[in-house]
Structure 1
Amino acid sequence: MDERKRESIVAYLRRRMVEFGINPEDVATSIAADQERLRAVRFRDASGNTWDGKGAPPQWVVQATSAGQSLEHFAIDGASNRDAGKRTGADWRNDPFAGTRLATARTEGV
């Protein structure tokens, strides 16, 4: 990006921050809080359950590892931008029952 374009964007952002009453300290505090929150969560399952890797593992980790799943399967990579508190749909890409009767069996009323 050339210097003039960069300065133009910075000036625009400063005007908008003044317009909305945002201080640079507010932005820095918000970024620091987001980074701390992302550092705290190290493992997440497809249902959105999280664990920071400290202390006793929660029940969902115990159940998954007892069933043979590796803890690394749940490790959050740096590219993940999911909200830790937001529950999402299940991730079926690594379903161990795919293609078996368990995956295709239907229950009544569902």
Structure 2
Amino acid sequence: MDERKRESMIAYLRGRMAKVGMKAADIAAALKEDQLRQRSVRYRNAFGDAWDGKGAMPQWLQQATSAGQSLQHFAVIGSEKPATQTQRQPAVDWSKDPFAGTRLATAPRS
């Protein structure tokens, strides 16, 4: 993107933000909150549903584990710091998800 287009886009966004009463600090705070929330996620499925491991287990995860899927299958890499590099968990391969395309995967979320 050339400099004039960039400056034009910035001016447009600043104008729209002023119209609705938003400040740059509001956006920065929202971004930081999202980053913190993403770091706390310990389990995630292929649809983006997530759970931080606290409180009651969500329905999507209960259904998957009661159907025989391991909890580790949904673990997010980097959610817990491993003691050593050799203990690092392999990346989740969603292409081998046994629930993809089944009724269980398309069940309504609660």
The TM-score normalised by the length of structure 2 is 0.51
Moved over 4 A (4+): 45-50, 56-68
Please report how far the alpha carbon of residue 6 of structure 1 lies from its aligned counterpart in structure 2 after TM superposition: 0.8
Structure 1 residue aligned with 2:98, among 81, 94, 99? 94
Percent sequence identity over aligned pairs: 52
- Long gaps (5+) in structure 2: 78-96, 104-110
* Distance in structure 1 (CA, Å) of the matches to 2:10 and 2:46: 39
Residue 69 of structure 2 corresponds to 69
Please report how far the alpha carbon of residue 58 of structure 1 lies from its aligned counterpart in structure 2 after TM superposition: 4.9
> With CA pairs under 8 Å and 6+ residues apart, which has the higher RCO, 1 or 2?
1
| Larger Rg over CA atoms | 1
* Distance in structure 2 (CA, Å) of the matches to 1:59 and 1:27: 29
> Per the alignment, do residues 44 and 3 of structure 1 end up closer, same or farther by CA in structure 2, a change over 3 Å counting?
same
How many residue pairs end up in the alignment? 82
- Long gaps (5+) in structure 1: 78-92, 104-110
RMSD: 3.8
The TM-score normalised by the length of structure 1 is 0.51
For 1:13-72, what per-residue CA distance to the aligned partner results, in whole angstroms no more than 9, with x for missing partners? 001111111011111111111111111112035798744357x99598799669763444
